[in-house]
Chains A and B, each alone.
Chain A
Amino acid sequence: MDRVGASRVTQGALVAASMASLQRRMEGMAAVQEQLSTGKVINRPSDSPTDTTAAMRMRSALAQQKQYLRNAQDGLAWTGLIDQTLGSVTDQVRRARELALQGASASVSPAARTALAAEVRQIRQGVLDDANTDYLGRPVFGGTTAGNDAYDATGAFVGVAEAVSRATADGVRIRVDLPGTDVFGDGPTSVFAELDALADALEAGDETAIRASIDALGSRLETVSASRAGVGATTNRLERAVQQIQDSTIDLTSDLSDVEDVDLAKVLMDLQVQEVAYQAALAGTARVLQPSLVDFLR
């Protein structure tokens, strides 16, 4: 009756083993259930420390890409506005040059020249307004100035000739502003001085000075076109950056999903397996715990 060391199975041992295995099954079900309800494989760092770190890096990189996209789009708004403004400047300077060509003809009456001069002065004001174009309160040709204008009324540059850049990737800065002095010049060498000189020459009927202005405005047009080409190149760079950011966002999102998210088919399969195991454990427990010799003794 007393077999020390031999394997003796008692009702207590059966109950304990049944409870333990039921508990284990429940734990397995709970783990699968958690994955299903959160949709995540990693719900806490200890689920997989390495994957957690990878997921954190990817989340951080995703947030950065999101920000880089905002930066690049902000940069595109700057270059778009600059391009548009330079288009308007080109039209106006070309018109001023046409007016100068008209005025250069000897057959033009002084009254007509005065009218031409008045239009040139209008154009000067228009170009000055363009030079002070602002994006969200910042003059786009004024560098990093805190003021509202890039040029004052006399045509002097009042901006701060520092680059305005946008970060579009790690360590990549794209300059999105255009220094006003590159396009419009400054003070005596500015387009405003050239237009003033043209208006003065028209009023005075000084044909030599008018021809000098025609040459000056011609080279100014080239300067503006060259700047516009530069802005176009910047726009292309920004657009390529946007494309790259969107590509890497897609890559990162899918990588993050690979690391973090559950494979639904697999988890549902796991759940099925756990469920079957749990039911088997329940059925087994019910049948094992029921009978004892008590039932058979009369």
Chain B
Amino acid sequence: MGGTFASLMSPLSALRYSSTALDTASVNIANASTAGYTRRVVDAVSVGAAPQVSMWSRPAGHVGGVEVTGVRRSVDLLLDARVRHEHSLQSFLDLRASVLDRLEAGLGEPGDNGVAALMSDLDAAWHDLANNPGGDAARSQVLDRAATLADGLRARARSSATEAADQRSALLALVAEVNTVAEELAATNGKIVAAQQSGVDANDLLDRRDLLALRLSELTGAQGTVRPDGAMDVRVQGVSLVDGRNAGRLTVASGVTPTGEGDGSPVSLQVDLGGSTTPVPTVSGGRVGAVVELLDVTIPAFDTALAEVARMLADDVNAAHQAGYDLDGNPGLALFTYDPADPAGTLAVAITDTRQVAASATPGGTLNGDNALAIADLRGAETTYQRLVNDFGTEVAAAGRLASTQAVLTSQVDRSREQLTGVSYDEEMVAMVAAQRTYEAAARMMTVLDSVLDTLINRTGLVR
């Protein structure tokens, strides 16, 4: 033994250690389902006597104890980086798939109310007109169905335009959220550095930091790197967004006006940080990346294909219609009009007078219906539309498949992370019982020492 009372120090350190262990177990249980909470583990070392107290003295006994060196978060930085990466891909693919689903639902194919059915209806009307070129009913039926088809194509163009407008507002909202989260992360970084310098437990701040970085990755596909001082830097496509305690501002440089209108050019983003502005290369991950891709690639491609259908329909029918003659024997006029800048959105029927429908292939106002048959036999627009549906369906199916494949990967890394950081009640129960027993044993130890000292102090020299 060292000093007379030194022996009491060992059980005391055990009491301290076990109360820390109990505290940690109860905090773990309390936060078992808190988002972003990582399991805390108590690190302890055994304390022996100092090997050399001073130049001429050596410790005489074997006094020791246990010392809590810290409460550590059970994390793996590499795994966290992978979680951020997979989550950024997942949110990219999920958003893309859900928007494509919506656009696809707007097509209404295959069905009795899609554009393909409207095209068949118009063909049937041309046939009826060919059977009865003089009938006013047959003529107005052609015009009505042509107008319905034009309406149908315009409705598809409008649903795509609405989706684009929604996505533009979504982009502005997302960018605002990115900036809020980035500011919060920078502030958290500052607190972490301060806490670490003053030796305060920064674990809760570190959890918060990881949660915010994950959110940034989901939003923008950003990559985070942890500094030695515990702060996390975040880069979007290599452009620094959060640098220590400084947060940059992500802004939309072109493509979307502050009021959510499109300005005709592709979407580009930039980051203002520390007085300098850096353009961000094409964002390829996260929700922002998905919105940018939808606005720049997917929706324009759909619009172009739809415009091609409308343009082909109008041009083919107009050419054939103008080659024929109307009921008064005059050459046919253009049946459809459209603005070449936006064929699908502006397609309309130009003729209102039913006599001007050019059913006849010969002049002279006869009841010839050959031109109506020739128009009914036009298949260009129908084939182009079928190709559009096929291509778009393939794209939607591929997007859905990619998203569900990614979901497997994402849930796998989530599971790995949960394995490492998740709280297990059983473990905590075991830890709790172990700490309780340690406490009891240490207390018992104290009782024994107390009784030993009692013997020494009160009974030494007494002879009964």
Contacts and interface: CB of A to CB of B under 8 A. Distances in A.
Interface string A257-291: 00010000000000000000000000000000000
Interface string A46-75: 111110110111011001101110110010
A42 B393 CA distance: 11
A260 to B, nearest CB: 7
A16 B422 CA distance: 11
B295 to A, nearest CB: 21
A197 B400 CA distance: 85
A147 to B, nearest CB: 9
A50 B425 contact: no
A229 B342 CA distance: 56
Contacts of A49: 389-391, 393-394, 397
B270 interface: no
Interface string A62-94: 011011101100100000000000000000000
A112 interface: no
B218 to A, nearest CB: 17
Given A55-B110, A136-B132, A8 B419 contact: yes
A166 B127 CA distance: 9
Contacts of B423: 10-12
B390 A45 contact: yes
Contacts of A1: 41, 427, 430-431
Contacts of A292: 425-426, 429
Contacts of B370: 165
Interface stretch (B58-66, B197-205, B314-322, B359-367): B359-367
Contact of B367 (A9, A68, A145): A145
Interface in A154-170: 160, 162, 164-167, 170
- In this complex, the interface size class of chain A, counting residues with CB under 8 Å from chain B, is 35 or more
B392 to A, nearest CB: 6
A13 interface: yes
A144 interface: yes
Interface stretch (B113-121, B165-173, B183-191, B442-450): B113-121
Contacts of B426: 292-293
A56 B420 contact: no
Contact of A45 (B130, B373, B389, B425): B389
B368 A144 contact: yes
Interface stretch (B87-95, B345-353, B410-418): B410-418
Interface string B367-402: 111100100110000100011011111101100100
A74 B394 CA distance: 42
B107 interface: yes
Contacts, number: 178
B123 interface: yes
Interface string B80-112: 000000000000000000001100110101100
B41 to A, nearest CB: 5
B312 interface: no
A106 interface: no
B131 A166 contact: yes
A167 B392 contact: no
A16 B429 contact: no
Given A16-B415, A138-B134, A146 B396 contact: no
Interface in A140-192: 143-146, 160, 162, 164-167, 170-171, 173
B367 to A, nearest CB: 5
Given A2-B74, A12-B32, A46 B425 contact: no
Closest 9 CB pairs of A and B: A45-B393, A10-B422, A49-B393, A63-B120, A46-B396, A46-B397, A144-B366, A293-B429, A12-B422
16 contacts: A8-B424, A13-B422, A44-B109, A45-B109, A46-B393, A49-B397, A52-B389, A56-B110, A59-B117, A60-B120, A144-B362, A146-B366, A166-B130, A167-B127, A167-B373, A167-B376
